């Protein structure tokens, strides 16, 4: 066991040394460049994103929790305005042609929030995290009547 561990450790150290060895192909001695993520802003989100979600919602005026799922398209303008069109299944009832609009904000750490102010989505709010440089947005509803996870991917 001790020999195996020593051999694995030696191999790992050797691999690191090879990766960091000077580049002598063109007579240079530069080390590999590592790029850090530069952060996010509202401009990180632009264009159309295919969306799907599932979870539960408490119907207005009741204490009855029902399943809720849907698909649609979120459109971000890169300046803080978002629109949404979708189809949903709420407690087994299918609704199509739904839409809404609102605003979004993005922090430099690639987190943010969305708040819909008009249409069928009015009063919906969520917190988001942007991944892949804006290629995907993960979200959770911030309403206390919902348990909804949403995933949006750039089209």
Q: What's the structural domain count of the chain? A: 1
Half-sphere exposure in the Cβ direction for 85 (13 Å, CA)? 4
Question: Which contacts of 129-134 are long-range, i.e. CB under 8 A and separated by 24 or more positions?
Answer: 130/40, 130/44, 130/45, 130/106, 133/37, 133/44, 134/40, 134/44, 134/45, 134/46
Cα of 50 vs its chain's centroid, Å: 12
**Structural domain containing residue 104:** 42-154
Q: Which ranges in the chain belong to alpha helices (H)?
A: 2-20
- pLDDT for 61: 84
Is residue 9, in this structure, part of any structural domain at all? no
pLDDT in tens, 94-123: 999 999 999 999 999 999 999 999 999 999
**Residue carrying structure tokens 């917190």:** 127
CATH code, domain with 105: 2.40.128
pTM of the model: 0.74
Contact between residue 48 and residue 154 where contact means Cβ atoms under 8 Å apart: yes
Is residue 57, in this structure, part of any structural domain at all? yes
| Pairwise CA distance, residues 71 & 107, whole Å | 26
Is residue 15, in this structure, part of any structural domain at all? no
The per-residue pLDDT of the chain, averaged, comes to 83
Is residue 11, in this structure, part of any structural domain at all? no
| Pairwise CA distance, residues 67 & 52, whole Å | 14
Is residue 127, in this structure, part of any structural domain at all? yes
pLDDT in tens, 53-92: 999 999 888 889 999 999 999 999 999 999 999 999 999 9
pLDDT in tens, 11-21: 333 333 333 34
């Amino acid at each position: 066991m001790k020999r195996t561990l020593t051999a694995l450790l030696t191999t790992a150290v050797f691999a690191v040394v090879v990766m960091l060895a000077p580049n002598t192909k063109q007579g240079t001695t530069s080390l590999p460049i590592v790029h850090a993520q530069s952060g996010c802003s509202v401009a990180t989100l632009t264009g159309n994103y295919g969306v799907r979600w599932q979870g539960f919602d408490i119907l207005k005026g009741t204490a009855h929790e029902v399943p809720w799922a849907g698909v649609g398209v979120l459109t971000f303008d890169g300046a803080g305005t978002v629109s949404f069109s979708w189809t949903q299944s709420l407690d087994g009832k299918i609704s199509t042609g739904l839409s809404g609009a609102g605003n979004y904000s993005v922090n430099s750490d690639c987190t943010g929030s969305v708040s819909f102010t008009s249409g069928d989505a009015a009063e919906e709010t969520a917190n988001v995290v942007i991944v892949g440089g804006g290629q995907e947005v993960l979200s959770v509803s911030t309403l206390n009547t919902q348990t909804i996870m949403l995933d949006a991917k750039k089209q």
